Amino acid sequence: MTDTLDMVFAALADPTRRAILSMLLEDDMAVTDVAEPFEMSLAAISKHLTLLTRAGLISQEKRGRVKWCKLEPDGLRAASVWMQGFGQFEPVNLDAFERFLATEIPDAARDDG
């Protein structure tokens, strides 16, 4: 499971790959159509697609002469389950925490160190 999570988060770490996933939310796309909005070579896009495929986030299949990409929504399931484990914690309001510290430790508010 750790290897799967590592691959998913590594794939999601890149803005180009996140953009590709967003594009595939709409529909399956040919590799050339996926590459069109990006200012990079088809070889570079293919590397991104390979990483997304290895992470299980997309699948690729050849239909005739054209290679198609399809979003695999279940590919995010393990990462989603892992992240939901952190949902039990309240979000920290840093402004309120800073005000609390300033009232409890007045010298800390003046300390820039």
| pLDDT tens column, 65-93 | 999 999 998 998 888 888 887 776 666 66
Q: What does pTM read for this prediction?
A: 0.73
- For residues 23-47, average pLDDT: 96
Q: How many domains does the chain have?
A: 1
What DSSP character marks residue 92? P
Report how far residue 72's alpha carbon sits from residue 52's, in angstroms, rounded to the nearest whole number: 10
DSSP conformation letters of 63-84: ETTEEEEEE-GGGGHHHHHHHH
Residue 100: which domain range?
2-110
Q: Decide if pLDDT at 110 tops 70.
A: no
**At 36, which CATH number?**
1.10.10.10
Q: Is residue 23's pLDDT more than 90?
A: yes
Give buried/exposed letters for 23-55 (b at 16+ CB in 10 A, else e): bbeeeebebeebbeeeeeeeeebeebbebbbeb
